[in-house]
Chains A and B, each alone.
Chain A
Amino acid sequence: MNANGRPAEASLNSLVDLLHRRAAEQPEDRAYVFLSDRGAEEASLTFAELDRRARAVAARLAAPGKAGERALLVFPPGLEFIVGFFGCLIAGIIAVPMMAPRRGGSRDGSAAIISDSRPRFALTSPALLAARPDVIERYRELGMEWVVVDPADDAAPPPVVLAAPGRDDVAFLQYTSGSTSAPKGVVVTHGNLLANLEMICVSLGNTRRSTYANWVPLFHDLGLIANVLQSLYLGTLCVMMSPVAFLQRPLAWLRAISHYRVDASGGPNFAFDLCVARFKPEQLEGVDLSCWHMAFSAAEPVRAETMQRFAATFAPYGFDPKALYVGYGLAEATLIVTAGRRGQGPVTRTVSRDALLHGKALPPLAPADTQVAVSCGRAGAGGRVAIVEPRTCRRLGPNIVGEVWVAGPHVAQGYWHNPAATDATFRARIADEGDAPWLRTGDLGFLDEDGELYITGRIKDVIIIRGMNHYPQDIEDTVQNSHPALRRNCGAAFIIGEEGGGEQLIVVQEVERTFRNKVADEDFVGTIREAVADEHEIAVHKVVLIRPGAIPKTTSGKVQRNLTRQLWLEGTLEVLE
């Protein structure tokens, strides 16, 4: 134990060690509380209860020769996910968290995740089983063994002796990378998790008194690692609510923060905008946010205006603008890579917009030439960040934009059963700097003289909506599969920023010549919207149908998404009526 009362990371071998230690040292303390949609406590788990129930699940999974098998975790919001997750870890089964497929949605990413990870088990809760029999029906032919984690079952686990996992053992696969057609499962070991949990703890300046509150889904690494696992690491309470409850009543999140005197809670940028949009003084009577010291914004680009609006709106309720906290990370580095400092508030820098377009961070030359960049903080303890020219792989100096590369004990092992993608992403070498492997993030940014990281864009085309990553090629595929008139490889999906901070998805798609006269009769727009909403959970703001051959392509036949976007913004695309 160190001064903060948390275990020294080096003395732990696995998350299972961590859980057992919590259960032994503070058995009766509450670890998790789940709030109902109306804010009442619906369920809770002490550290001892979690340990006991997870061991009971482990006993049902474990058998000789099963270690290293995968188990899909398909849970509705609630505490059962956590019991199932630790049940897997104790049994030496690799957990694979997954979003429950959308009701009525015909195709989505789940089939590809299952075929890539080949799970032997699927864990779920009685609630999902009752409400969504279609989920089990959908996967019936895959022959997975369904294990129901019952929250009411508090029977003593059978005395099964299981081999304790070590730091190099795989804890779980995080499927947030790669397209839905070819998903990539990031292989995260116990050692990676422990290293990143320590990094989060040190960066955030967390202590035994850092109570957490979370509504981010647990199949998302931000929900699982930054909240549920970090609070266990600290031995503190994490108050949970469902993502739907948050979307429906965002101010309930703030009321929970006030009521439980929460120290650390956050979400993607849109969450802060949503609170401002739904602000109603009558719903915040008696709310005091002065306890909230770490309001972290992660998982999507952070906007300076969002932070200013949030701070101004909630300052009368005791919210301290210095509590706003920005971090940067990705699943390939377990979760966090860089983070700010407790109590400092976001660090911003005003740079020349024009110079930034040319890859340099310089002071503005004229008042019209300014852009405010928000720092994502510095490399977490034990980690390293480099800015590298992506083609020559040479390290770049301060204030020059290049690809963000990461090294350290938090960098995951690679992509599940995908050596080619693993080599390309996880085993990069900086020119003239020896053989040390680096992780390529695909993100662009610069470091300043103080080592503060500023993210400026991406190399890969990734569409981020409400904190979830989507790949344009997946959306384009969906569009082109939805009707035979929609030409293959002749469409582009991209986002445009809206005033007020929202991001809108635009789909541009060529229509076959033979169907050109039917554009008015066939509801292509409705068909495309429905397909994209069903398969990707996103709304298409605008569908633009164009004649064959109108989409800009490179000489090698690749669709030029950025150019298409530019033509659309300029209004020079010839649209079919």
Chain B
Amino acid sequence: MQQLDPAEAEIRTWCTGYLAETLRLPREEIDPNAKFARLGLDSAMAIFFLTAIEEWLGLELSAEIVFEHQTVADVARYLARLPEVATKLEQRAT
């Protein structure tokens, strides 16, 4: 299996945890490659998901992110490449 970059892996783990809690599903049932719609997320819930990511990271993000990137894997990959996200995660680690 391909190794994920640590920031991407951390975001993935957080997102799967959030979705498992929100959707009341066991964590292992949240497939990072499943489209949000398939997991049972409508667009309002997708926006609430983004708001939760914002609060976790302490950053303001555009709601478009969860419409343009429709899986946990895609969102994590996109966010991990934003410089401000990388900085936040590093600060948190130290």
Q: Chain A residues in contact with chain B, CB under 8 A?
A: 37-38, 102-104, 244-245, 247-249, 278, 466, 526-527, 529-530, 533-534, 537-541
Contacts and interface: CB of A to CB of B under 8 A. Distances in A.
Nearest to B41: A539
Contacts of B40: 529, 533, 539-541
- Pick the most buried of A104, A244, A539: most chain B CB atoms within 10 A of its CB: A539
Nearest to B31: A526
B45 A539 contact: yes
A249 B47 CA distance: 10
A176 to B, nearest CB: 18
A540 B36 CA distance: 12
Interface in B25-83: 34-45, 47-48, 50-51, 60, 62-63, 67, 70
A529 B50 CA distance: 20
Nearest to B36: A533
Contacts of B51: 248-249, 278
B39 to A, nearest CB: 7
Nearest to B67: A103
Contacts of A526: 34, 38-39
Contact of A247 (B36, B48, B62): B48
Contacts of B34: 526
Contacts of B67: 103
16 contacts: A37-B63, A244-B47, A247-B47, A278-B51, A526-B34, A526-B38, A527-B38, A529-B39, A530-B38, A533-B40, A533-B41, A533-B42, A537-B43, A537-B44, A538-B42, A539-B42
B65 to A, nearest CB: 11
A395 B7 CA distance: 67
Contacts of B50: 248
A304 to B, nearest CB: 24
B43 A248 contact: no
A529 to B, nearest CB: 4
Contacts of B45: 539
Nearest to B54: A248
6 closest A-B pairs (Cβ-Cβ)? Answer: A533-B37, A530-B38, A539-B42, A529-B40, A247-B47, A530-B37
Contacts of A102: 43
A104 B63 contact: no
Interface residues of B, number: 21
A215 B37 CA distance: 24
B56 to A, nearest CB: 15
B44 to A, nearest CB: 6
Contacts of A249: 51
Contacts of A37: 62-63
Given A37-B63, A103-B67, A248 B38 contact: no
Contacts of B41: 533, 539
Given A247-B44, A530-B37, 4 more contacts: A104-B70, A247-B63, A249-B51, A539-B45
A318 B83 CA distance: 41
A530 B44 CA distance: 15
Contacts of B35: 530
Contacts of A38: 60
A103 to B, nearest CB: 6
A104 B70 CA distance: 10
A494 B43 CA distance: 20
Contacts of B38: 526-527, 529-530, 533
A249 B67 CA distance: 17
Nearest to A541: B40
A102 B46 CA distance: 13
A489 to B, nearest CB: 24
A245 B47 CA distance: 9
A380 B48 CA distance: 37
Given A244-B63, A248-B63, A466 B44 contact: yes
Contacts of B39: 526, 529
Contacts of A539: 40-42, 45
A375 B62 CA distance: 39
A540 B40 CA distance: 6
- Pick the most buried of B43, B47, B62: most chain A CB atoms within 10 A of its CB: B43
Contacts of A104: 70
Contacts of A540: 40
A353 to B, nearest CB: 29
A458 to B, nearest CB: 22
Nearest to A131: B64
A248 B37 contact: no
B79 to A, nearest CB: 16
- Pick the most buried of A38, A104, A245, A247: most chain B CB atoms within 10 A of its CB: A247
A493 to B, nearest CB: 14
A504 to B, nearest CB: 10
Nearest to B34: A526
A534 B39 CA distance: 12
A515 B44 CA distance: 33
Nearest to B25: A525
- Pick the most buried of A38, A248, A278, A537: most chain B CB atoms within 10 A of its CB: A248
Contacts of A466: 44
Contacts of A248: 47, 50-51, 63
- Pick the most buried of B40, B43, B47: most chain A CB atoms within 10 A of its CB: B40
Nearest to B48: A247
Contacts of A537: 42-44
A37 B37 CA distance: 24
A526 B37 CA distance: 8
A466 B48 CA distance: 14
